[in-house]
């Protein structure tokens, strides 16, 4: 259903441009930026508001989208509208993806300067306060990432679980040589079990992912799921879902993840 909506949407845009021979302008958000002391650079982001934001006095949940280019923002807009949920969407584009998303470097995935900790501090100490001061947020925050930024979603959940209420990681997880690092992080995080009370987490992977041919990431997520169930129990809602008919970043996983987050 979502795929059909996206196809129709793009066809309508292309048709408008071809048939009427005029430029088509479609506003999906407002580009903003803030200077980051944490990252020592100016970071851009795009904010998309619910259609009734200006006419209502309501406050809204906020969805933070990593790898947040225009395409990712458009996907988030379509998914939220298809599910009938009104959210403020903040799309965060990359400047140095490896640096910002990776908390470590290993032979499987070497990163010259892994600084995920700084990027997480930027989100928590600079970006979130800016958004919640300027826009009518109700305080509920969801973080969504894919692939490498999906790994960051899981890192964020373990490193600073207080920052977000909900986490969606599509094609998320870690390779075998990253396991010792995440074992230590998990052990430390789960010592404060109360920090996970009421949170919702949706992790998804493909069983035909070309980036995980030996299913290292899948097996790591299976073990992580068992650890969550054993150590945290019913404190949080957690689902690990796999897809066989899709490749890297299974197409329905964003829709399924947000739908899971919205379930009562």
- Residue 58: phi and psi, rounded to 5, are -80, 155
Apex CA 168: angle with CA 164 and CA 174, to 5°? 105
What pLDDT score was predicted for residue 24?
57
Strand residues in 134-211 grouped as ranges (E): 137-146, 166-170, 200-206
- 82-104 tens-digit pLDDT: 999 999 999 999 999 999 999 99
pLDDT of residue 28: 85
Average pLDDT over residues 172-194: 98
Residue 10 reports pLDDT greater than 50:
no
Average pLDDT over residues 226-233: 97
Predicted local distance difference test score (pLDDT) of residue 22: 55
Closest CA to 80 of 172, 5, 183: 5
Tell me the C-alpha distance between 79 and 67, whole Å: 16
pLDDT at residue 72 is higher than 70: yes
Is the Cα dihedral 208, 211, 214, 220 positive or negative? Answer: negative
Pairing of strands 60-65, 137-146: parallel
More confidently predicted of 78 and 5: 78
What number is the average pLDDT over the span 6-21? Answer: 45
Question: pTM value?
Answer: 0.91
* Span 142-150, average pLDDT: 98
Given a cut of 50, whether residue 118 has pLDDT beyond it is yes
The pLDDT of residue 131 is above 70: yes
Confidence check: pLDDT of 9 > 90: no
Give the pLDDT confidence score for residue 26 in this predicted structure: 63
Confidence of residue 23 (pLDDT cuts 50, 70, 90): low
Residue 248: predicted pLDDT: 97
């Amino acid at each position: 259903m979502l795929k059909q909506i996206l196809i129709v949407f793009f066809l309508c845009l292309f048709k408008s441009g071809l048939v009427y021979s005029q430029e088509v302008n479609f506003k999906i958000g407002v580009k903003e930026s803030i200077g980051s002391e944490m990252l020592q650079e100016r970071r851009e982001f795009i904010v998309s508001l619910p259609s009734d934001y200006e006419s209502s006095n309501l406050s809204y949940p906020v969805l933070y989208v990593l790898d947040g280019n225009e395409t990712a923002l458009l996907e988030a807009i379509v998914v939220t509208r298809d599910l009938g949920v009104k959210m403020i969407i903040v799309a965060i584009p990359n400047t140095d993806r490896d640096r910002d998303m990776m908390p470590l470097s290993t032979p499987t995935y070497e990163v010259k300067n892994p600084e995920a900790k700084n990027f997480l501090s930027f989100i928590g100490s600079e970006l979130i306060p800016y958004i919640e001061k300027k826009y009518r947020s109700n305080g509920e925050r969801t973080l969504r990432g894919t692939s490498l930024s999906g790994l960051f979603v899981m890192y964020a959940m373990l490193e600073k679980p207080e920052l977000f209420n909900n986490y969606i990681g599509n094609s998320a997880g870690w390779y075998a040589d990253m396991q010792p690092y995440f074992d230590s992080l998990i052990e430390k995080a789960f010592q404060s079990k109360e920090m996970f009370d009421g949170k919702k987490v949706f992790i998804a992977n493909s069983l035909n992912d070309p980036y995980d041919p030996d299913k290292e990431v899948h097996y790591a997520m299976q073990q992580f799921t068992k650890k969550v169930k054993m150590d945290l129990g019913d404190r949080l809602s957690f689902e690990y879902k796999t897809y066989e008919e899709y490749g890297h970043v299974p197409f329905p996983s964003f829709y399924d993840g947000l739908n899971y987050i919205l379930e009562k």
